[in-house]
Structure 1
Amino acid sequence: MEELMILTKTRNRRLSKSRLLPLSGVLVAALMLGASAGTVSAAELNTDPLAQLSKIGLYNPAGATSEVQGKVALKPQSPSAATANIGLKVIGPDAQSSLTMKPVGDFKSASSIGAAVYQGSADFSYVLTDGTSGATAGYSVIHSQNAPTTYSYEINIGGRPAVLALTPGGSILVSDHAGKANNLIAPAWARDATGKPLKTSYSVSKNVLTQTIDFSGAQFPVIADPRFQKDWLNNTIEFTRTETSTAADSAGGFALICGSAVGFLPLAGVCGVLAGASVVVANEARNQGKCLGIRWGNGIPLPAYPYPVIVDCYA
Protein backbone atom coordinates (compact mmCIF):
# COMPACT_ATOMS: atom_id res chain seq x y z
CA MET A 1 0.00 0.00 0.00
CA GLU A 2 1.38 3.34 -1.02
CA GLU A 3 2.78 5.48 1.78
CA LEU A 4 0.72 8.47 2.82
CA MET A 5 2.08 11.76 3.98
CA ILE A 6 0.57 12.33 7.38
CA LEU A 7 2.48 13.44 10.25
CA THR A 8 5.66 14.61 8.91
CA LYS A 9 7.90 14.82 5.95
CA THR A 10 8.00 12.71 9.01
CA ARG A 11 10.85 13.91 7.42
CA ASN A 12 8.91 15.32 9.14
CA ARG A 13 10.14 11.14 12.01
CA ARG A 14 7.14 12.39 11.06
CA LEU A 15 5.54 11.25 7.83
CA SER A 16 6.86 12.66 4.65
CA LYS A 17 5.96 9.80 2.68
CA SER A 18 5.34 8.35 5.90
CA ARG A 19 6.34 9.88 9.09
CA LEU A 20 5.16 10.60 12.30
CA LEU A 21 6.25 11.14 15.07
CA PRO A 22 8.44 12.30 18.49
CA LEU A 23 10.23 14.76 21.76
CA SER A 24 12.89 16.53 23.89
CA GLY A 25 13.33 19.57 26.15
CA VAL A 26 15.17 21.02 29.15
CA LEU A 27 14.71 19.76 32.70
CA VAL A 28 15.29 22.63 35.08
CA ALA A 29 15.78 21.64 38.72
CA ALA A 30 12.82 23.74 39.76
CA LEU A 31 10.35 22.85 37.01
CA MET A 32 8.15 25.78 36.08
CA LEU A 33 5.58 23.69 34.26
CA GLY A 34 3.19 26.53 33.79
CA ALA A 35 5.77 29.11 32.79
CA SER A 36 4.99 31.00 29.61
CA ALA A 37 7.70 31.81 27.08
CA GLY A 38 8.27 35.35 25.93
CA THR A 39 7.41 35.62 22.25
CA VAL A 40 9.84 37.46 20.01
CA SER A 41 10.38 37.70 16.28
CA ALA A 42 12.29 34.94 14.54
CA ALA A 43 14.98 37.46 13.63
CA GLU A 44 15.69 38.00 17.33
CA LEU A 45 16.45 34.33 17.87
CA ASN A 46 19.50 32.36 16.95
CA THR A 47 18.23 30.80 13.70
CA ASP A 48 21.07 28.30 13.61
CA PRO A 49 18.91 25.43 14.98
CA LEU A 50 16.67 25.51 11.92
CA ALA A 51 19.69 25.72 9.64
CA GLN A 52 21.26 22.72 11.36
CA LEU A 53 18.11 20.65 11.05
CA SER A 54 17.65 21.68 7.43
CA LYS A 55 21.24 20.74 6.65
CA ILE A 56 20.68 17.12 7.62
CA GLY A 57 17.18 16.85 6.17
CA LEU A 58 15.12 17.10 9.36
CA TYR A 59 13.48 20.43 8.52
CA ASN A 60 12.09 21.35 5.13
CA PRO A 61 10.10 24.62 5.14
CA ALA A 62 9.40 24.17 1.43
CA GLY A 63 7.42 21.09 2.34
CA ALA A 64 4.87 23.28 4.10
CA THR A 65 4.14 25.40 1.05
CA SER A 66 3.03 24.91 -2.51
CA GLU A 67 2.85 27.12 -5.57
CA VAL A 68 -0.62 28.00 -6.87
CA GLN A 69 -0.83 30.13 -10.02
CA GLY A 70 2.61 31.51 -9.36
CA LYS A 71 1.89 32.36 -5.74
CA VAL A 72 3.24 30.58 -2.68
CA ALA A 73 0.54 29.18 -0.41
CA LEU A 74 0.47 26.97 2.65
CA LYS A 75 -0.41 23.38 1.97
CA PRO A 76 -3.63 21.96 3.45
CA GLN A 77 -3.63 21.69 7.23
CA SER A 78 -1.61 18.82 8.65
CA PRO A 79 -2.79 16.59 11.49
CA SER A 80 -0.12 18.37 13.54
CA ALA A 81 0.90 21.99 14.05
CA ALA A 82 3.87 23.69 15.73
CA THR A 83 3.56 27.25 17.03
CA ALA A 84 5.56 29.13 19.64
CA ASN A 85 2.65 29.87 21.98
CA ILE A 86 1.08 26.39 21.97
CA GLY A 87 4.07 24.17 21.17
CA LEU A 88 3.56 21.03 19.09
CA LYS A 89 -0.06 19.92 18.77
CA VAL A 90 -0.96 16.48 17.46
CA ILE A 91 -4.58 16.93 16.48
CA GLY A 92 -7.00 14.18 17.48
CA PRO A 93 -10.51 13.42 16.23
CA ASP A 94 -11.82 15.57 19.08
CA ALA A 95 -10.49 18.10 21.59
CA GLN A 96 -10.22 15.53 24.37
CA SER A 97 -7.78 13.40 22.37
CA SER A 98 -5.58 16.19 21.00
CA LEU A 99 -2.04 16.10 22.40
CA THR A 100 0.30 19.02 23.05
CA MET A 101 4.01 19.07 23.85
CA LYS A 102 6.22 21.97 24.87
CA PRO A 103 9.72 22.36 26.35
CA VAL A 104 9.79 22.71 30.13
CA GLY A 105 11.10 26.15 31.07
CA ASP A 106 10.77 29.83 30.23
CA PHE A 107 12.35 30.54 26.83
CA LYS A 108 12.34 33.17 24.16
CA SER A 109 10.36 31.68 21.31
CA ALA A 110 9.35 32.29 17.74
CA SER A 111 7.18 30.60 15.14
CA SER A 112 8.55 29.73 11.73
CA ILE A 113 7.11 27.82 8.78
CA GLY A 114 6.06 24.46 10.18
CA ALA A 115 8.21 24.92 13.30
CA ALA A 116 8.59 26.64 16.65
CA VAL A 117 12.01 27.63 18.03
CA TYR A 118 12.85 28.02 21.74
CA GLN A 119 16.22 29.50 22.63
CA GLY A 120 17.62 28.16 25.88
CA SER A 121 21.01 29.88 25.74
CA ALA A 122 23.93 30.23 23.37
CA ASP A 123 24.61 26.54 24.06
CA PHE A 124 21.30 24.93 23.11
CA SER A 125 17.88 25.44 21.56
CA TYR A 126 14.70 23.46 21.02
CA VAL A 127 12.85 23.13 17.74
CA LEU A 128 9.38 21.63 17.39
CA THR A 129 8.39 20.59 13.87
CA ASP A 130 5.04 19.48 12.51
CA GLY A 131 3.94 17.29 9.63
CA THR A 132 4.13 20.08 7.05
CA SER A 133 7.88 20.62 7.38
CA GLY A 134 9.29 17.34 8.64
CA ALA A 135 8.54 14.95 11.43
CA THR A 136 6.14 15.47 14.28
CA ALA A 137 8.93 15.83 16.77
CA GLY A 138 10.86 17.90 19.27
CA TYR A 139 14.56 18.45 18.65
CA SER A 140 17.29 19.42 21.08
CA VAL A 141 19.94 21.23 19.05
CA ILE A 142 23.04 21.40 21.26
CA HIS A 143 25.96 23.63 20.35
CA SER A 144 28.60 23.02 22.99
CA GLN A 145 29.88 20.83 25.82
CA ASN A 146 28.62 23.49 28.24
CA ALA A 147 24.99 22.72 27.43
CA PRO A 148 22.79 20.72 29.82
CA THR A 149 22.80 16.95 29.44
CA THR A 150 19.05 16.65 30.16
CA TYR A 151 16.18 17.94 28.01
CA SER A 152 12.50 17.73 28.94
CA TYR A 153 9.01 18.23 27.54
CA GLU A 154 5.65 18.59 29.23
CA ILE A 155 2.93 16.56 27.51
CA ASN A 156 -0.82 17.08 27.88
CA ILE A 157 -3.85 15.39 26.34
CA GLY A 158 -7.13 17.25 26.13
CA GLY A 159 -5.67 19.98 28.32
CA ARG A 160 -4.88 17.55 31.14
CA PRO A 161 -1.52 15.99 32.12
CA ALA A 162 -0.70 12.89 30.10
CA VAL A 163 0.38 9.61 31.69
CA LEU A 164 3.82 8.47 30.47
CA ALA A 165 5.22 4.96 30.75
CA LEU A 166 8.62 3.66 29.66
CA THR A 167 8.32 0.36 27.74
CA PRO A 168 10.93 -2.44 27.80
CA GLY A 169 11.99 -1.50 24.25
CA GLY A 170 12.74 2.10 25.22
CA SER A 171 9.62 3.66 23.70
CA ILE A 172 7.31 5.87 25.74
CA LEU A 173 3.62 4.97 25.85
CA VAL A 174 1.51 8.13 26.14
CA SER A 175 -1.95 7.71 27.67
CA ASP A 176 -4.67 10.09 28.75
CA HIS A 177 -5.72 10.64 32.37
CA ALA A 178 -8.12 7.68 32.12
CA GLY A 179 -5.35 5.33 31.00
CA LYS A 180 -6.36 5.10 27.33
CA ALA A 181 -3.33 4.82 25.01
CA ASN A 182 -3.05 7.93 22.85
CA ASN A 183 0.41 7.88 21.27
CA LEU A 184 3.85 6.31 21.26
CA ILE A 185 7.21 8.08 21.33
CA ALA A 186 10.03 6.34 19.49
CA PRO A 187 13.08 5.20 21.52
CA ALA A 188 15.57 7.95 22.33
CA TRP A 189 18.35 8.76 19.86
CA ALA A 190 21.05 11.40 19.58
CA ARG A 191 23.82 12.00 17.04
CA ASP A 192 26.78 14.34 16.84
CA ALA A 193 27.98 16.44 13.90
CA THR A 194 29.68 13.42 12.30
CA GLY A 195 26.56 11.28 12.52
CA LYS A 196 27.95 9.18 15.37
CA PRO A 197 25.20 7.88 17.69
CA LEU A 198 25.55 8.95 21.31
CA LYS A 199 24.41 7.20 24.46
CA THR A 200 20.99 8.54 25.40
CA SER A 201 17.93 7.45 27.38
CA TYR A 202 14.50 8.56 28.56
CA SER A 203 13.04 8.96 32.02
CA VAL A 204 9.55 10.08 32.98
CA SER A 205 8.03 11.97 35.89
CA LYS A 206 4.26 12.39 35.74
CA ASN A 207 3.65 14.13 32.37
CA VAL A 208 7.26 15.25 31.83
CA LEU A 209 9.55 13.32 29.52
CA THR A 210 13.29 13.84 29.99
CA GLN A 211 16.03 12.79 27.60
CA THR A 212 19.56 12.42 28.99
CA ILE A 213 22.49 12.58 26.56
CA ASP A 214 26.12 11.56 27.06
CA PHE A 215 28.40 14.01 25.20
CA SER A 216 31.53 11.86 25.59
CA GLY A 217 33.64 12.18 22.44
CA ALA A 218 30.94 14.18 20.65
CA GLN A 219 31.55 16.77 17.98
CA PHE A 220 29.02 19.59 18.01
CA PRO A 221 26.32 20.36 17.17
CA VAL A 222 24.55 17.39 18.69
CA ILE A 223 20.93 16.72 17.74
CA ALA A 224 18.53 14.58 19.77
CA ASP A 225 15.03 13.77 18.65
CA PRO A 226 12.22 11.96 20.40
CA ARG A 227 9.22 11.68 18.08
CA PHE A 228 5.54 10.83 18.01
CA GLN A 229 4.34 7.84 16.02
CA LYS A 230 0.61 8.51 15.73
CA ASP A 231 -1.89 11.09 14.54
CA TRP A 232 -5.68 11.03 14.22
CA LEU A 233 -5.52 9.46 10.75
CA ASN A 234 -2.66 7.05 10.94
CA ASN A 235 -0.17 5.22 13.15
CA THR A 236 3.37 4.41 12.13
CA ILE A 237 6.06 2.65 14.11
CA GLU A 238 9.33 3.67 12.45
CA PHE A 239 12.46 1.59 12.93
CA THR A 240 16.06 2.80 12.66
CA ARG A 241 18.62 1.67 10.07
CA THR A 242 20.11 -0.77 12.55
CA GLU A 243 16.70 -2.21 13.45
CA THR A 244 15.75 -2.43 9.78
CA SER A 245 18.93 -4.39 9.08
CA THR A 246 18.14 -6.72 11.99
CA ALA A 247 14.62 -7.29 10.62
CA ALA A 248 15.93 -7.86 7.10
CA ASP A 249 18.21 -10.67 8.23
CA SER A 250 15.53 -12.98 9.65
CA ALA A 251 11.98 -13.37 10.95
CA GLY A 252 13.49 -13.76 14.40
CA GLY A 253 15.23 -10.42 14.01
CA PHE A 254 11.94 -8.78 13.07
CA ALA A 255 10.21 -10.33 16.07
CA LEU A 256 12.93 -8.84 18.27
CA ILE A 257 12.44 -5.26 17.11
CA CYS A 258 8.68 -5.63 16.84
CA GLY A 259 8.42 -6.70 20.46
CA SER A 260 9.03 -3.19 21.77
CA ALA A 261 5.95 -1.90 19.94
CA VAL A 262 3.47 -4.63 20.88
CA GLY A 263 1.93 -2.60 23.70
CA PHE A 264 0.79 -0.04 21.18
CA LEU A 265 -0.05 -2.26 18.20
CA PRO A 266 -3.78 -3.10 17.84
CA LEU A 267 -3.59 -6.87 17.48
CA ALA A 268 -2.23 -9.59 19.74
CA GLY A 269 0.40 -11.74 18.07
CA VAL A 270 0.93 -9.17 15.34
CA CYS A 271 4.70 -9.60 15.29
CA GLY A 272 4.43 -13.24 14.27
CA VAL A 273 1.73 -12.53 11.68
CA LEU A 274 3.76 -9.77 10.04
CA ALA A 275 7.16 -11.46 10.21
CA GLY A 276 7.34 -12.91 6.69
CA ALA A 277 6.13 -9.82 4.86
CA SER A 278 8.15 -7.50 7.06
CA VAL A 279 11.43 -9.30 6.32
CA VAL A 280 10.78 -8.81 2.59
CA VAL A 281 9.91 -5.12 3.05
CA ALA A 282 12.88 -4.59 5.38
CA ASN A 283 15.23 -5.97 2.73
CA GLU A 284 13.75 -3.69 0.07
CA ALA A 285 13.98 -0.72 2.45
CA ARG A 286 17.63 -1.50 3.20
CA ASN A 287 18.39 -1.76 -0.53
CA GLN A 288 16.83 1.67 -1.07
CA GLY A 289 18.72 3.22 1.84
CA LYS A 290 15.45 3.60 3.73
CA CYS A 291 13.85 2.01 6.78
CA LEU A 292 11.08 -0.36 7.79
CA GLY A 293 7.86 0.88 9.33
CA ILE A 294 4.70 -0.79 10.60
CA ARG A 295 1.53 1.19 9.87
CA TRP A 296 -2.13 0.82 10.64
CA GLY A 297 -5.01 3.20 10.14
CA ASN A 298 -7.62 4.40 12.56
CA GLY A 299 -10.34 2.84 10.45
CA ILE A 300 -11.09 5.43 7.75
CA PRO A 301 -9.81 5.60 5.08
CA LEU A 302 -6.89 3.32 5.99
CA PRO A 303 -7.36 -0.25 7.20
CA ALA A 304 -7.08 -0.82 10.93
CA TYR A 305 -4.86 -3.89 10.59
CA PRO A 306 -1.04 -3.38 10.65
CA TYR A 307 1.08 -3.77 7.52
CA PRO A 308 4.79 -3.12 6.72
CA VAL A 309 5.83 0.03 4.83
CA ILE A 310 9.06 1.69 3.70
CA VAL A 311 9.81 5.04 5.34
CA ASP A 312 12.63 7.56 5.34
CA CYS A 313 15.09 6.86 8.16
CA TYR A 314 15.17 9.14 11.17
CA ALA A 315 18.27 7.47 12.63
Structure 2
Amino acid sequence: MEMKKRAATIAASLAIGVLTLSGVPAASAESDPTPGTQEVVEQATANAGVPAASTDGELDVVPATDATDGVTVQSDHLAPLTIPLPEGLSLDVAETTDSGSTIYPADRGSVDVAVEEVTQGVRVSTVLWDGSREAFSYSLPEGVAATPRPDGSLELTRTEVVEAEGVTAEVTASIGSIEPAWAIDADGVALGTEYDVTNGVITQTVDLAGAAFPVVADPTWAITSPVQVRIRFTRAETATIAGGGWHATGLTAVCAAAGASVAGPPGAAAFAAGCFLASGAMVYTAGVAQNSRPKRCLEQFMTFVPLSGAIIGVPWYGTYACR
Protein backbone atom coordinates (compact mmCIF):
# COMPACT_ATOMS: atom_id res chain seq x y z
CA MET A 1 0.00 0.00 0.00
CA GLU A 2 2.81 2.38 0.92
CA MET A 3 4.48 1.78 -2.45
CA LYS A 4 1.25 2.55 -4.30
CA LYS A 5 0.86 5.89 -2.46
CA ARG A 6 4.48 6.81 -3.22
CA ALA A 7 4.01 5.95 -6.89
CA ALA A 8 0.84 8.02 -7.06
CA THR A 9 2.61 10.99 -5.47
CA ILE A 10 5.47 10.78 -7.94
CA ALA A 11 3.05 10.50 -10.87
CA ALA A 12 1.10 13.54 -9.68
CA SER A 13 4.29 15.54 -9.27
CA LEU A 14 5.42 14.65 -12.78
CA ALA A 15 2.02 15.59 -14.18
CA ILE A 16 2.13 18.98 -12.48
CA GLY A 17 5.64 19.50 -13.79
CA VAL A 18 4.58 18.66 -17.32
CA LEU A 19 1.59 21.02 -17.12
CA THR A 20 3.76 23.78 -15.73
CA LEU A 21 6.46 23.45 -18.35
CA SER A 22 4.04 23.03 -21.22
CA GLY A 23 2.08 26.06 -20.05
CA VAL A 24 4.99 28.46 -20.52
CA PRO A 25 5.34 28.18 -24.29
CA ALA A 26 1.56 27.99 -24.70
CA ALA A 27 1.11 31.33 -22.92
CA SER A 28 3.90 32.90 -24.98
CA ALA A 29 2.36 31.67 -28.22
CA GLU A 30 -0.97 33.33 -27.37
CA SER A 31 0.52 36.75 -26.54
CA ASP A 32 0.94 39.15 -29.46
CA PRO A 33 4.27 40.92 -29.97
CA THR A 34 4.35 44.67 -29.40
CA PRO A 35 3.39 46.35 -32.71
CA GLY A 36 5.94 48.58 -34.38
CA THR A 37 5.54 52.31 -34.95
CA GLN A 38 4.41 51.90 -38.55
CA GLU A 39 1.73 49.37 -37.61
CA VAL A 40 0.48 51.60 -34.81
CA VAL A 41 0.19 54.58 -37.18
CA GLU A 42 -1.61 52.56 -39.85
CA GLN A 43 -4.16 51.28 -37.32
CA ALA A 44 -4.68 54.78 -35.90
CA THR A 45 -5.29 56.34 -39.32
CA ALA A 46 -7.80 53.58 -40.09
CA ASN A 47 -9.61 54.24 -36.80
CA ALA A 48 -9.54 57.99 -37.41
CA GLY A 49 -11.02 57.57 -40.89
CA VAL A 50 -8.35 59.66 -42.60
CA PRO A 51 -6.72 58.91 -45.97
CA ALA A 52 -3.91 56.37 -46.07
CA ALA A 53 -0.40 57.26 -47.14
CA SER A 54 -0.05 57.98 -50.85
CA THR A 55 2.74 58.91 -53.22
CA ASP A 56 0.46 59.64 -56.17
CA GLY A 57 0.51 63.43 -55.73
CA GLU A 58 2.65 66.02 -57.48
CA LEU A 59 4.77 66.75 -54.43
CA ASP A 60 8.38 65.77 -53.88
CA VAL A 61 8.70 64.96 -50.15
CA VAL A 62 12.24 64.69 -48.78
CA PRO A 63 12.52 63.78 -45.07
CA ALA A 64 15.87 64.69 -43.54
CA THR A 65 18.15 62.15 -41.89
CA ASP A 66 18.34 64.42 -38.85
CA ALA A 67 14.93 65.18 -37.33
CA THR A 68 15.96 68.76 -36.51
CA ASP A 69 16.15 69.52 -40.25
CA GLY A 70 12.47 68.74 -40.83
CA VAL A 71 10.88 67.64 -44.09
CA THR A 72 11.28 69.49 -47.40
CA VAL A 73 8.27 69.64 -49.72
CA GLN A 74 8.54 70.95 -53.26
CA SER A 75 7.26 70.47 -56.79
CA ASP A 76 7.79 71.87 -60.26
CA HIS A 77 5.33 74.68 -59.55
CA LEU A 78 5.89 75.26 -55.84
CA ALA A 79 8.63 77.02 -53.92
CA PRO A 80 10.26 74.67 -51.35
CA LEU A 81 8.69 74.56 -47.89
CA THR A 82 10.29 73.03 -44.80
CA ILE A 83 7.84 71.27 -42.50
CA PRO A 84 9.19 71.01 -38.94
CA LEU A 85 9.04 67.96 -36.70
CA PRO A 86 8.11 68.11 -33.00
CA GLU A 87 10.77 69.76 -30.88
CA GLY A 88 12.56 68.49 -27.80
CA LEU A 89 12.02 64.77 -28.37
CA SER A 90 15.65 63.58 -28.68
CA LEU A 91 14.86 61.65 -31.84
CA ASP A 92 17.35 59.28 -33.45
CA VAL A 93 18.23 59.31 -37.14
CA ALA A 94 15.61 58.44 -39.71
CA GLU A 95 14.62 54.89 -40.59
CA THR A 96 12.79 54.15 -43.85
CA THR A 97 10.08 51.49 -43.79
CA ASP A 98 9.12 49.11 -46.60
CA SER A 99 6.01 51.23 -47.23
CA GLY A 100 8.13 54.34 -47.84
CA SER A 101 7.34 56.09 -44.57
CA THR A 102 10.10 57.60 -42.46
CA ILE A 103 10.32 56.80 -38.74
CA TYR A 104 12.27 58.89 -36.23
CA PRO A 105 12.52 56.71 -33.09
CA ALA A 106 13.09 58.33 -29.72
CA ASP A 107 16.39 57.35 -28.17
CA ARG A 108 14.63 56.69 -24.85
CA GLY A 109 11.62 54.92 -26.34
CA SER A 110 8.78 57.12 -25.04
CA VAL A 111 7.80 58.94 -28.25
CA ASP A 112 8.37 58.15 -31.93
CA VAL A 113 7.57 60.29 -34.98
CA ALA A 114 6.41 58.93 -38.34
CA VAL A 115 6.36 60.96 -41.56
CA GLU A 116 4.13 59.87 -44.44
CA GLU A 117 3.30 61.48 -47.75
CA VAL A 118 -0.41 61.89 -48.37
CA THR A 119 -2.20 63.34 -51.36
CA GLN A 120 -1.09 66.97 -51.58
CA GLY A 121 0.56 66.97 -48.19
CA VAL A 122 2.54 65.37 -45.38
CA ARG A 123 1.28 63.63 -42.25
CA VAL A 124 3.46 63.91 -39.13
CA SER A 125 2.27 61.31 -36.61
CA THR A 126 3.59 61.40 -33.06
CA VAL A 127 3.37 57.99 -31.35
CA LEU A 128 3.15 58.17 -27.56
CA TRP A 129 4.15 54.89 -25.92
CA ASP A 130 3.38 56.26 -22.46
CA GLY A 131 1.97 59.36 -20.78
CA SER A 132 5.26 61.21 -20.29
CA ARG A 133 4.40 63.86 -22.93
CA GLU A 134 1.06 65.42 -23.83
CA ALA A 135 2.10 68.53 -25.78
CA PHE A 136 4.24 68.87 -28.89
CA SER A 137 5.56 72.08 -30.47
CA TYR A 138 6.43 72.91 -34.07
CA SER A 139 8.36 76.09 -34.91
CA LEU A 140 7.19 77.57 -38.20
CA PRO A 141 9.75 78.43 -40.88
CA GLU A 142 10.82 82.06 -41.13
CA GLY A 143 8.19 84.17 -42.87
CA VAL A 144 5.45 81.56 -42.43
CA ALA A 145 2.45 82.22 -40.17
CA ALA A 146 -0.45 80.05 -39.03
CA THR A 147 -3.95 81.48 -38.52
CA PRO A 148 -6.71 79.46 -36.78
CA ARG A 149 -9.88 78.69 -38.73
CA PRO A 150 -13.35 78.03 -37.22
CA ASP A 151 -13.12 74.30 -38.03
CA GLY A 152 -9.96 73.88 -35.94
CA SER A 153 -7.55 73.87 -38.87
CA LEU A 154 -4.78 76.42 -39.43
CA GLU A 155 -4.17 78.44 -42.58
CA LEU A 156 -0.52 78.73 -43.54
CA THR A 157 0.66 81.92 -45.19
CA ARG A 158 4.08 83.17 -46.23
CA THR A 159 4.88 86.88 -46.23
CA GLU A 160 7.79 88.30 -48.16
CA VAL A 161 8.95 91.76 -49.16
CA VAL A 162 9.45 91.92 -52.91
CA GLU A 163 11.13 94.73 -54.82
CA ALA A 164 11.12 95.35 -58.54
CA GLU A 165 11.12 98.34 -60.92
CA GLY A 166 11.43 100.73 -57.99
CA VAL A 167 8.35 99.27 -56.30
CA THR A 168 8.55 97.60 -52.90
CA ALA A 169 5.63 95.51 -51.69
CA GLU A 170 4.91 93.16 -48.84
CA VAL A 171 2.93 90.27 -50.25
CA THR A 172 1.23 87.49 -48.32
CA ALA A 173 0.47 84.24 -50.09
CA SER A 174 -1.63 81.30 -48.91
CA ILE A 175 0.69 78.29 -49.15
CA GLY A 176 -1.33 75.60 -47.41
CA SER A 177 -3.01 74.56 -44.20
CA ILE A 178 -2.73 72.24 -41.22
CA GLU A 179 -5.82 70.08 -41.04
CA PRO A 180 -7.76 69.78 -37.77
CA ALA A 181 -5.82 67.84 -35.15
CA TRP A 182 -6.79 64.31 -34.17
CA ALA A 183 -5.53 61.79 -31.63
CA ILE A 184 -6.47 58.10 -31.30
CA ASP A 185 -5.57 55.68 -28.51
CA ALA A 186 -4.80 51.95 -28.75
CA ASP A 187 -8.48 51.07 -28.32
CA GLY A 188 -9.49 53.27 -31.26
CA VAL A 189 -10.95 55.95 -28.99
CA ALA A 190 -10.70 59.57 -30.17
CA LEU A 191 -9.00 61.82 -27.62
CA GLY A 192 -9.42 65.55 -27.16
CA THR A 193 -6.69 67.55 -28.89
CA GLU A 194 -6.21 71.09 -30.17
CA TYR A 195 -3.69 73.56 -31.53
CA ASP A 196 -2.35 76.74 -29.97
CA VAL A 197 -0.38 79.26 -32.02
CA THR A 198 1.89 81.64 -30.13
CA ASN A 199 4.89 83.61 -31.44
CA GLY A 200 5.39 81.45 -34.51
CA VAL A 201 5.14 78.15 -32.61
CA ILE A 202 2.29 75.66 -33.07
CA THR A 203 1.62 73.50 -30.01
CA GLN A 204 -0.64 70.45 -30.15
CA THR A 205 -1.96 69.32 -26.78
CA VAL A 206 -3.58 65.90 -26.25
CA ASP A 207 -5.90 64.98 -23.37
CA LEU A 208 -4.47 61.64 -22.20
CA ALA A 209 -6.91 61.06 -19.32
CA GLY A 210 -7.96 57.39 -19.43
CA ALA A 211 -6.09 56.76 -22.68
CA ALA A 212 -4.85 53.31 -23.68
CA PHE A 213 -1.31 53.42 -25.04
CA PRO A 214 0.15 53.73 -27.57
CA VAL A 215 -1.57 56.98 -28.62
CA VAL A 216 -1.12 58.57 -32.05
CA ALA A 217 -1.44 62.37 -32.36
CA ASP A 218 -1.51 63.78 -35.84
CA PRO A 219 -1.19 67.10 -37.64
CA THR A 220 -1.40 66.82 -41.43
CA TRP A 221 0.25 69.60 -43.42
CA ALA A 222 -1.69 70.17 -46.64
CA ILE A 223 0.18 72.14 -49.27
CA THR A 224 -1.77 74.51 -51.49
CA SER A 225 -2.25 73.08 -54.93
CA PRO A 226 0.24 74.73 -57.26
CA VAL A 227 -2.60 75.43 -59.69
CA GLN A 228 -4.01 78.21 -57.50
CA VAL A 229 -2.32 80.76 -55.27
CA ARG A 230 -3.63 83.77 -53.37
CA ILE A 231 -1.67 86.95 -52.70
CA ARG A 232 -2.85 89.76 -50.45
CA PHE A 233 -1.72 93.37 -50.56
CA THR A 234 -1.62 95.68 -47.56
CA ARG A 235 -3.84 98.74 -47.20
CA ALA A 236 -1.01 101.11 -48.15
CA GLU A 237 -0.20 99.06 -51.25
CA THR A 238 -3.88 98.89 -52.15
CA ALA A 239 -4.09 102.70 -51.95
CA THR A 240 -1.01 103.07 -54.16
CA ILE A 241 -2.39 100.69 -56.80
CA ALA A 242 -5.81 102.38 -56.74
CA GLY A 243 -4.19 105.79 -57.26
CA GLY A 244 -2.18 104.63 -60.25
CA GLY A 245 1.09 104.92 -58.35
CA TRP A 246 2.29 101.68 -59.86
CA HIS A 247 2.18 101.73 -63.65
CA ALA A 248 1.66 98.52 -65.60
CA THR A 249 5.37 97.74 -65.65
CA GLY A 250 5.63 98.13 -61.89
CA LEU A 251 2.57 95.96 -61.30
CA THR A 252 3.94 93.29 -63.59
CA ALA A 253 7.33 93.32 -61.87
CA VAL A 254 5.80 93.06 -58.40
CA CYS A 255 3.54 90.21 -59.53
CA ALA A 256 6.52 88.36 -61.01
CA ALA A 257 8.49 88.70 -57.78
CA ALA A 258 5.47 87.62 -55.75
CA GLY A 259 4.85 84.63 -58.01
CA ALA A 260 8.48 83.54 -57.70
CA SER A 261 8.28 83.64 -53.91
CA VAL A 262 5.30 81.30 -53.96
CA ALA A 263 5.72 79.05 -56.97
CA GLY A 264 9.26 79.50 -58.21
CA PRO A 265 10.20 80.50 -61.80
CA PRO A 266 6.97 79.16 -63.39
CA GLY A 267 5.01 81.23 -60.90
CA ALA A 268 7.02 84.34 -61.73
CA ALA A 269 6.30 84.07 -65.44
CA ALA A 270 2.62 83.22 -64.98
CA PHE A 271 1.99 85.99 -62.45
CA ALA A 272 3.78 88.58 -64.57
CA ALA A 273 1.81 87.71 -67.70
CA GLY A 274 -1.47 87.59 -65.83
CA CYS A 275 -0.95 90.94 -64.13
CA PHE A 276 0.16 92.64 -67.32
CA LEU A 277 -2.98 91.55 -69.16
CA ALA A 278 -5.29 92.41 -66.26
CA SER A 279 -3.63 95.48 -64.76
CA GLY A 280 -6.76 97.54 -65.42
CA ALA A 281 -8.91 95.12 -63.44
CA MET A 282 -6.34 95.16 -60.67
CA VAL A 283 -6.43 98.96 -60.39
CA TYR A 284 -10.23 99.00 -60.53
CA THR A 285 -10.59 96.42 -57.75
CA ALA A 286 -8.06 98.28 -55.62
CA GLY A 287 -10.26 101.38 -56.05
CA VAL A 288 -13.32 99.39 -54.93
CA ALA A 289 -11.40 98.32 -51.83
CA GLN A 290 -10.41 101.91 -51.10
CA ASN A 291 -13.96 103.19 -51.45
CA SER A 292 -15.44 100.52 -49.18
CA ARG A 293 -16.58 101.47 -45.70
CA PRO A 294 -14.66 100.37 -43.78
CA LYS A 295 -11.80 100.26 -46.24
CA ARG A 296 -10.73 96.88 -47.52
CA CYS A 297 -7.58 95.59 -49.20
CA LEU A 298 -6.82 94.07 -52.58
CA GLU A 299 -6.29 90.35 -52.95
CA GLN A 300 -5.31 88.47 -56.06
CA PHE A 301 -5.96 84.86 -56.99
CA MET A 302 -3.91 83.27 -59.73
CA THR A 303 -4.89 80.00 -61.36
CA PHE A 304 -2.19 78.18 -63.29
CA VAL A 305 -3.46 76.60 -66.49
CA PRO A 306 -1.23 74.31 -68.62
CA LEU A 307 -1.49 75.36 -72.25
CA SER A 308 0.66 74.09 -75.13
CA GLY A 309 3.46 73.05 -72.83
CA ALA A 310 3.50 76.35 -70.94
CA ILE A 311 1.90 77.54 -67.70
CA ILE A 312 -0.53 80.44 -68.13
CA GLY A 313 -1.62 82.56 -65.18
CA VAL A 314 -5.31 83.47 -65.08
CA PRO A 315 -5.88 86.20 -62.46
CA TRP A 316 -8.96 87.07 -60.47
CA TYR A 317 -9.18 90.02 -58.07
CA GLY A 318 -11.21 90.59 -54.95
CA THR A 319 -11.09 92.39 -51.61
CA TYR A 320 -10.66 91.25 -48.02
CA ALA A 321 -11.10 92.78 -44.58
CA CYS A 322 -7.82 94.25 -43.37
CA ARG A 323 -6.50 96.63 -40.77
TM-score (norm 1): 0.48
Write 1 or 2 for the structure with the bigger share of strand. 2
Write 1 or 2 for the structure with the bigger share of helix. 2
Question: Which structure would you say has the larger Rg?
Answer: 2
Higher relative contact order structure (alpha carbons within 8 Å, sequence separation ≥ 6): 1
